[in-house]
Structure 1
Amino acid sequence: MILWLINLSKLFRTMNNSDIKLPNFLIVGIQKAGTTSVYNYLKQHPEVYLSPVKETDFLEKDWEKLIEQGHQFKPKKIVTFEQYKNLFKGVKNEIAIGEISPNYLFHYKTSTELIKRYVPNAKLIAILRNPVERAISDYLMHVREAQSNTSLKEQIQYKSDKSFVIIKGKYYQPVKHYFEHFGREQVSIFLYDDLRKNSKKFIQDIYKIIGVDPDFEPDTSRKLQVAQVPKNQAVNNLLVRKNPIRSLSANLLKPLLSEKKRQKLRSLLIGMNSKSKDEIDSFDEEKQLLLNLYHDDILKLQDLIDRDLSPWLTI
C-alpha cells in the first residue's frame, strides 16, 4: 500500500500541479525558539492557513526513498507527497499557506533539496535563539520526556560533535547554506530575543513577510512554553515512559474516563511532579562550556546576517 502511494506521489509530480495548494511559506527552525507560540499566533490570522500538523517534517528527509529501501515508519508519519498535500485540503481563500517544522534548518542539506523539489518559491523563515539558552532548554525537555541519560556537562565534554542538543545551536553553516541556495530575498532571519521583547511586533513583522494584513493584532497574552524538569525522575519515568504500571493504570481507568480525560489527568500528575528551571541550579559551568563551543560560530553568524549578537557572547 505504501509503495503504491509512493508511485502515485511521483505521478502527481509529473502532472500540472496548478490546482494543488501547497505552502507558500515555511518556518524552518529552530527548535526551542518559540515556534509553538508563533504557530498559535499565525493561526489566529484570518488570511493564514497552517498545516493542522504543526511539525510535518516531510521536507526534512527523503522519506519515500527510505521506504523504497525498506525502512518502516509509524502510521501517522507524513512520508509521501500525497499525505503532505492532504494536509492543505482545508485551504479556502487564505493568502498565506504554511507549515512549521523547526528541524528543516538542522537537516539543511536534505531540506533545501526537498524544498526545491516541492515548494521552490516558498518564503523561508528561521527563528534563532541564543544557542547556549537553546541547548539548556532542549536538554531540559529531554530530561522531562525521559529521553536523556547523559548529563549536559558530559554531552558538552565528550559528545559535543554527536549530541543533537549541542549541534543544533551551530547556526552559521545552515543559514549560509539556505542563503546560497535560495537567496537572501527568500530567506528571513528572526531572533527569539525579539519575540520575548515584543511578541506582537514580532509576529506582525512575519505577517509582512508572508504577505498578509500586518495590522491584524493577535492575542499574544498566552505565555511562551515554560521549561520544567521533574522533581523526581523515577516518578517522571513512570508517567512518561511505557511500563507495566502505566499500562495497568490506563486499563483500570478506561471504563471510568475518556481518553481525553485520562491524558488530562496524566498531564496534571506530570505538572505536580515538575518544577521550573528557575528553581534548579543555574548551569553556570555548562553555560561557560557551551559559550566556548559556540563563540566563533556566533561571530560568523553575526556577520552573515548583519545583526548584533553581542548579548549572546556573555553569560
Structure 2
Amino acid sequence: MAEPPLVTFLIAGVQKGGTTALFDYLGDYPDIALPDVKELHFFDDEAQDWTRPDYAAYHARFPAPAGRPCGEATPIYAYWPGSLERIAAYNPSMKLIMVLRDPVQRAWSHWRMEYARGAETAPFAWCIREGRQRLFAAEPWAHHREFSYVERGFYGEQAERLVSLFPRRQLLFLKSDELRADPGPALARVRTFLGLPRAAAPAPREVHVGREMAYPSELAVADIEHLRRVYAADAWRLAEMTGVQFG
C-alpha cells in the first residue's frame, strides 16, 4: 500500500524569484514543518521510477509534522515537464506557492548565477536570442536546468498548467518585490493560505544575495526591450489568470 501524503504545500516556483527568502522566513515559524535544506528535487528527479515512486525516501527528509503544515521549496517544479503532474498524483490537495519576479530581471539574475558558477560562458545578449536553440538539443526536449533563462519566465504558461491540475483555491501567487520590500504582509498571506493564524513577522533581511564579480555583460536596454516583446503575450495570460503584472 502506498504511503499517504505527508507534504501538504510546496514553494514550486520560480527560480531566482525569492523562493530562498520565503523558505528562510518560514523556517522562523515553529508551527510549520520544513526539511533542513531547501530544494529536495524530488518531483523533477528523472531517475525515479514514477510508476512506483519511493515516497518513503522523500518523507524521510522531513521532521514529524505533528499536525503542522509540512512543505518544501524546489522552484524548478513549476517549469520542469511532468513535475506538476507527479505532484498532483502524490497529493491532489497540495497547496502550491509561486513567488514571481519580473521575468526580465529573473532571466538576468539567472544568467549571472550560471556565469558565476561556471556553467555559462556566453554573453547574456546571445543567450536570450540565439542561445535558446541549445534547449532543442536538451533532454527532456526543449527544457534545460541551466540555460533556460527565457523559458522559465513564461509564467502565464506555468499558471495555466497549475490551474489545469489543481483548484484555484490551492494556488497562491506572490510577487518577489512584495516579499523583499516588506515581508510582513506577504508572510501573512502565506500563513492564511496554509490555514494558520496570524503571527509576528520576522524582521526583513537579505537572503541569498547574488555574487559580485566581473561579468562580461550588462543588462542593456535592447535586451530588456527584446525580452518584453518575447513575454508580451504570456504576460497578458498571466495578468488575466492571476492579476499579477510586471513591466
Q: Same fold (TM over 0.5)?
A: yes
Q: Deviations over 1:269-308 (max 9, x none)?
A: xxxxxxxxxxx8443222222112112211121111123x
Q: TM-score, normalised by structure 1?
A: 0.69
Contact in 2 for aligned 1:195/1:202 (Cα 8 Å): yes
TM-score (normalizing by structure 2):
0.86
| Structure 1 residue matching 2:33: 3-state secondary structure | strand
- Output one character per residue of 1:184-224: Cα deviation in whole Å (capped at 9) or x when no partner: 1111111112112321211121011112222232233x214
Inter-CA distance 157–83: structure 2 relative to 1 (3 Å threshold): same
CA distance in 1, matches of 2:34, 2:54: 19
Q: Give the counterpart of 1:106 among 79, 82, 90.
A: 79
* Structure 2 residue corresponding to 1:228, chosen from 193, 211, 222: 211
Change (3 A) 1:92 1:175: closer
- More helix as a share of residues: 1
1:117-196 paired onto structure 2 within 5 Å: 117-160=89-132, 162=135, 163-196=147-180
Within 2, Cα distance between the matches of 1:105 and 1:166?
A: 14
Distance 1:193 1:62 in 2: 33
**Greater relative contact order: 1 or 2 (C-alpha under 8 angstroms, separation 6 or more)?**
2
Cα separation, 2, equivalents of 1:64 and 1:92: 25
Q: Which has the larger radius of gyration?
A: 1
The alignment status of 1:84 with 2:84, answered yes or no, reads: no
- Paired residues in the alignment total 235
RMSD: 2.4
AA of the residue aligned to 1:167: E
Unpaired segments of 5 or more residues in structure 2? 136-146
SS of residue matched to 2:186: helix
CA deviations 1:81-139 (Å, max 9, x no partner) are: 22101012x215352110111001102x4122211222221211111111000000000
Structure 2 vs 1, CA of residues 224 and 284 (structure 1 numbering), >3 Å: closer, same or farther? farther
The one-letter code sitting in structure 2 at the alignment partner of 1:102 is P
Counterpart of 1:212 in 2: which secondary structure?
coil
**What SS does the corresponding residue of 2:82 show, helix, strand or coil?**
helix
Q: Relative to structure 1, is the Cα distance of residues 128 and 92 closer, same or farther in structure 2, using a 3 angstrom cutoff?
A: closer
Q: Which runs of 5+ in 1 are unaligned?
A: 1-11, 69-78, 234-279
Question: Which position in structure 2 is the counterpart of 1:271?
Answer: none
The percentage of aligned residue pairs carrying the same residue is: 24
Q: 1:62 offset after TM fit, Å?
A: 4.8
